[in-house]
Structure 1
Amino acid sequence: MSVAALIVAAGRGSRVGQGIPKQYRPLQGRPVLARTLAAFVAHPRIGKTIVVIHPDDRDLYEATLSALPDASSTVLPCVHGGKTRQDSVRSGLEALVDVAPDIVLIHDAARPFAGPDLIDRAIQAAERWGSAVPGTPVTDTIKVVGERSQVMSTPDRSELRAVQTPQAFRFPLLLEAHRRAAAANLPTFTDDGALIERAGLPVHVFEGDPGNIKLTHPADFAEAERRMKGETMTYVTRLGTGFDVHAFGDGDHVWLGGVSVPHDRGIVAHSDGDVILHALTDAILGALADGDIGTHFPPSDPQWRGASSDRFLAYAVALVRKRGGIVDHLDATLLCERPKLGPHRDVMRQRIAEIAGLRVDQVSLKATTTEKLGFTGRSEGIAAQAAATIRLPEDNS
């Protein structure tokens, strides 16, 4: 049977942090996508490979492809993806119609460790069953949680599998399922196996590979780098604290946690005066033992006048990662009488997570008054204190 591979590379990869999309980020000197592509181009059973990219990434893709001189004869012209992964896969399938492979493998660009044995198993599973996905046993206990964080049920984990890619299908079957889903305006599915299930067709699970990780968060990249070096890294955990204060002045809003909050006062500051982001920045720099925010962004420097404080936090996080470290948790407490944190807490946590390239559950925000005591109690100013937990390679500590 003829086999084609479809690599989905149209995502933005926001959870890994700011910068270029994760599939183009270097991994031991080569873009992640180049490593992913190489695995499929080199496999003897795969005749053609097509990559679905974001329209804005054409130059990045061309540069990646130029690093794979052996790919020119087997990699088809790329196609542009859509708003969802499902849209992108359908675009790639439509572009394969003229090739008409018997089997198509759908693979995430951010999984660069798919080995030849896993690809073999995927092809064999599709030949045998028509629709198949790789899965690995779930080792943690899984809870189904309701609206109020209440546990609704605990599935038997022996029946659960964590599903990966490449997922393998008879090409006509998957193409028809995608076309019908689009025509019926069905909701978006998180993977192609789920779409086939929705069509009422059986999907089988074959043995996956625990090493076939998806690069989603910054820590995944750090682990992938160590893995490719053949290293087992030992970390030391560090805790840093930060504190910042600014006086109120004229204005109609304050910046807090990267969010503009309406208020009857403004902030007197050289930058935008975001005490939460300033305190978090100092906490990370403290954990690194690398000075404070004034050391790196002196208020005497006019280039930081009115600067957005998300730049400061992103810079501090980048210093951690430059040293091969990982930011585990950020925690901040706002001290003021007003404005109230509660109505804005969730959007602030989300914004801080985006700036730092973390999950939202790695960001904590709290607030307290000072019982009318001191400058915050008299509403003369606003303050924040913060803590950051990071891990650094022990040999860099």
Structure 2
Amino acid sequence: MRIGYLIDLHKGGYEQPMPTPQDAHDTMEAMIEEGIVAERAGFHSLQVPDRHGRTECYFPGPEQILTILARETDRVAIGTFTHIHTLLHPMKAAEQYAVIDNLSQGRLYTTLSRGFHPGYWQQFGVPQDHMLGRFQEAIKIWQLAFAGERFDFDGKYWQVQQGLLAPQPHQEGGWPIWGGGNAVPAAIRRSADYGECWTCDPFPLMKEVWEQQVGTYRERAEELGKTPYIVLMRDGWVADTFEDAAAQFGTHFVEEMRFYFRQGIFTHHPDFQSESDITPEAAAPHTIMGSPQQCIEQLERYHEEFGVDYFTLRFRMPTGPSMEAAREQIQRFGEEVVQPIHRKYPAPDHPSIPAACRW
């Protein structure tokens, strides 16, 4: 079992005023610093999302900050959670990620998804029909690009003429691909086809639904001769007591949950049928929050009862806590939760983890 940290590329309230140049600079520096602190604190990986066209987004897309982190870190795995594989030409994306993989000396992985936010496609003038076909063609192009020779691809949505990915990835055959979809059974099953693992977002879980989802993924992975690997994202906060953690973090988590509730992401959950149902108390069971021992027990429960192999933790939402508080939290959570767990459990030996990061 290993634990990574997600750097949220949002800061500030949704639809906030346009950041000033100084605010943009300072916030970008602070986000980079989060990654540096997380490596020092013992986190196994750094992950960043793919976001665009919003005033609260300071790094549009994951490629730029990952390029910087490839130089600023030495040991952690670095990757996307996720890369929306329908927004730009897959060869352009492959070129940027190949640079990151080489700069980091083989520490890159990418979680891929087709995306769900219409505003992102609108930002780039991408047609919003046939997204699955666009996504599947993009994966095929990456597979051809990783072979290291020129190729042509005449698809319905993407075309490549005498394409060549140069430089080639540092990792022979390409960096690990993590599967994205986690709501629709077909998407979960499909993640085993193109990915080395299956990832799940930080939304409320129902055990019976989870078992169905995991079963769908595991069955398909085993059909393909792959060893299943489960990645779960959670939000959380460590403090002296659960009450202290909830007071510092709970309201921010609730605001984030309400935003995604309005997008229809988890309206199926019986405990959350309206925005008023989303309170710090109701949301608490779906976070990693409390004293160090409580956080360790919660992570181990997900590992033992839900079969989770890898965790991605996030401590900062767009509305807060502050960047300063987040850095302090990264350090404390790393020392008091992450490091004890990493000492207890063996290093991962799975193709979803870059070979350079199997520690």
Greater helix percent: which structure? 2
TM-score exceeds 0.5: no
Work out which of the two has the higher radius of gyration on C-alpha atoms and give 1 or 2: 1
**TM-score interval, normalised by the smaller of the two chains:** under 0.3
- State TM-score, norm by structure 2: 0.24
